Structure 1
Amino acid sequence: MKPLNIMREVSNAAVINNTIVVCGGYVSKSDEYLNSCEHYSIETNDWYFGSNLSENKTDLALVVHNGLVLYAIGGYHPTTGAMNTVERYDLVSRQWKPMASMHTKRYSMGCTVFMDKIYVCGGGGGGGHNTCETYDPIANQWTPIGSMIEKRIEFRLVVHGDNQLLYALGGFPYLNSIELYDYRSNQWHTSSQTLPYELFAFGATTLYY
C-alpha cells in the first residue's frame, strides 16, 4: 500500500464507497495544521486529494453514517482551541457542506454510529468533558444525552450490537475503566470488567464471528 502524499499526525480516517478517506492533521516539520483530505483507491493503489475541509484542524472525528454519508466533527486548532463545527461530505458534488454544530466544543472525543444516530462523547477542551450528545442526520439536530461518569479524552466509543450497548473504553488521564450506556434508561454504568492496561490514543472496533 502506498504512503499518504502528506506525512500527517493526529488526523483521522474512515471508509466510504470502497475508498479510504484521511482528513486534517498536523505536519510537525512545518508546524502546519491541515484541512486537506486524501482518498485512497483500493483498485488503483493510489492516493489523490479530495475537497478540503473548511477549517485546518487536528484531533477531529471522521465517521460514516449508513455507509453513505461522511461527517467531519469537532477538532482542534491552537488559534481557536476546541471546535464544535460539523461538515458533511457529498459523494455526488464531492464537496464538504456545513451542518449543525455540536452543543459542546471538543476534540479527541469518542464518536460512533449507534441506533441510526451519531454519538459523540467526552473529548478535550475546557479541562475535558464527560458530556455526550447525539446527531440526527435527518433533522440535522444535536441532542444532549446522559453524561459519562468520568471525563475521557482520546478514548474509544464502540457498539456491541448483540446487547445494544455503547461502550466507552479507557482514555486519558490514564484510564482502564469501561462504561456502558443503555439508551433505554439514558444512563451510563461502570462495568465490572476493565482493560488490561491504562490506555489512551489506541484503536478499538467490534468484530462479529
Structure 2
Amino acid sequence: MSAVRGAHIAVKLANEKVLVSGGDGGSGGGGYLNTADLYDPIANTWTAVSPMNSKRCSHMASILSNGSVFVAGGYNGGYLTSAEIYNPTTNTWTNTASMSYARQLATISVLSNGKILVAGGDNGSPLNVAELYDPSTNTWTVTDSMNYARIGHAATVLSNEYVLVTGGCTANSIAEIYDVSTETWTVTGSMMSIRQYHTTSQLTNGTVLVAGGIISTSTYLNSAELY
C-alpha cells in the first residue's frame, strides 16, 4: 500500500478491486489518515485514490446498491458522526448527512430494504444505540436501542433478513436479533463464551460460525461455536 496503516477498513467493489481507507499510521506514518488505496487483484498493484474528506480510523464501511462505498464514524482524536460516500467511477468522496451519535468500532449492516443499520460502538464508553441510514433520502433515523451496550461485537445479516448481533459485552454472552420489519431488538440465546473482537461467518446452510475473540486483555480464545 502507499501508506502504513492499522485500524483501517477494506471493502470489495463490484469490479473485484478492493478499496482500503483511513486508519492510523502511528507516529512514523502520519498519525490518523484520510488516504485511500485501491488494490487490483489482476494486475497485483496498489493505486492511491482520492483521500476521504475526514481522517478516520476504526470506522465503518459498506457497499451501496449502486456500487459506491459508504463510510461512517470512526476516530481521529475525537469520535466522529460524519459520513461520506466514495464513487469509484469518478474517484470522488462526497460528504453525506451525519449520524446522530458519534462512534467508532460499531457494526454496519446492509438491510434488504436498502437501508444501513449502524449499532453500538464506542464514544468513550460502550453504546447500545442504533440508527438507520437511508441512501435514497440521505437521512439518518434513530431506531430501537439494543438491550445491551456493545463494543467489539459482530453483526450478521441472516438468511431470514434479521440481523444477529453477538458479543461485545464484558459481563455476559447474550446475543440479540434486530427485526427489520418492526425495527426492534429481541434477546436470543446466549453464546457458550463471553466474546469481544471475534469473527462471525454465515455458512451455506444458514448457520453462523462464531470464532475466537477475547474475554479480557489477558484471556484470548481459540474456541468456536455455531448459531
Shared fold, TM over 0.5: yes
3-state secondary structure, aligned to 1:27: coil
Report 1:145-160 matches (<5 A).
145-160=143-158
Identical-residue share of aligned pairs (%)? 25
More strand by share: 1
Shift of 1:64: 0.5
- Greater RCO, CA 8 A, separation 6+: 1
**TM-superposed deviation, 1:57:** 1.4
1:197 aligns with 2:196: no
- RMSD of aligned residue pairs (Cα, Å): 1.7
Can you give the 5+ residue segments of structure 2 that lack an aligned partner in the other structure? 206-227
Question: Closer, same or farther in 2 for the Cα pair 1:203/1:51, shift >3 Å?
Answer: farther
The match for 1:98 among 92, 95, 100 is 95
Shift of 1:56: 1.4
Aligned pairs (5 A) from 1:101-112: 101-112=98-109
Q: Which of 130, 140, 165 is the matching residue for 1:132?
A: 130
Moved more, 199-208 or 42-51: 199-208
Amino acid at match of 1:106: R
CA distance in 2, matches of 1:88, 1:186: 25
Question: Which of 191, 200, 203 is residue 207 of structure 1 equivalent to?
Answer: 203
Give the whole-Å Cα distance in 2 for the aligned partners of 1:106 and 1:187: 21
Q: What is the rounded CA distance, in whole Å, between the counterparts of 1:45 and 1:85 in structure 2?
A: 32
- Structure-1 separation of matches of 2:169 and 2:146: 14
Q: What SS does the corresponding residue of 1:87 show, helix, strand or coil?
A: strand
What is the deviation of 1:126? 4.2
Evaluate the alpha carbon distance shift between residue 172 and residue 186 of structure 1 in structure 2; reply closer, same or farther with a 3 A threshold: same
Q: TM-score, normalised by structure 2?
A: 0.83
- Who is 1:76 aligned against? 75
Deviation at 1:172, TM superposition (A): 4.9
**Contact conserved, 2:148 with 2:169, CA < 8 A, in 1?**
no
How far residue 192 of structure 1 moved from its aligned partner, in angstroms, is 1.5
1:121 aligns with 2:111: no
Task: Report the secondary structure of 1:39's partner residue.
Answer: strand
Deviates more, 1:168-177 or 1:93-102: 168-177
Q: Hey, what's the Cα distance between the residues in 1 that align with 2:47 and 2:80?
A: 27
User: Is the Cα contact below 8 Å between 2:173 and 2:190 reproduced in 1?
Assistant: no
Counterparts of 2:179 and 2:196 in 1: how far apart (Å)? 23
**TM-aligned CA deviation for residue 169 of structure 1:** 1.3
Unaligned runs of 5+ in 1: none
- In structure 2, C-alpha distance between the alignment counterparts of 1:90 and 1:184, rounded to whole Å: 30
Distance in 2 (alpha carbons) for counterparts of 1:8 and 1:63: 19
Distance in structure 2 (CA, Å) of the matches to 1:63 and 1:103:
18
Offset of residue 50 of structure 1? 1.0
AA aligned to 1:93 is: T
Structure 1 letter corresponding to 2:56:
K
SS in 2 for 1:76: coil
Q: Secondary structure at the match of 1:102?
A: coil
| Cα gap change, 1:174 to 1:20, in 2 (>3 Å) | farther
Question: Cα–Cα, structure 1 residues 174 and 48, in superposed 2: closer, same or farther, change >3 Å?
Answer: farther
Secondary structure in 1 matching 2:75: strand
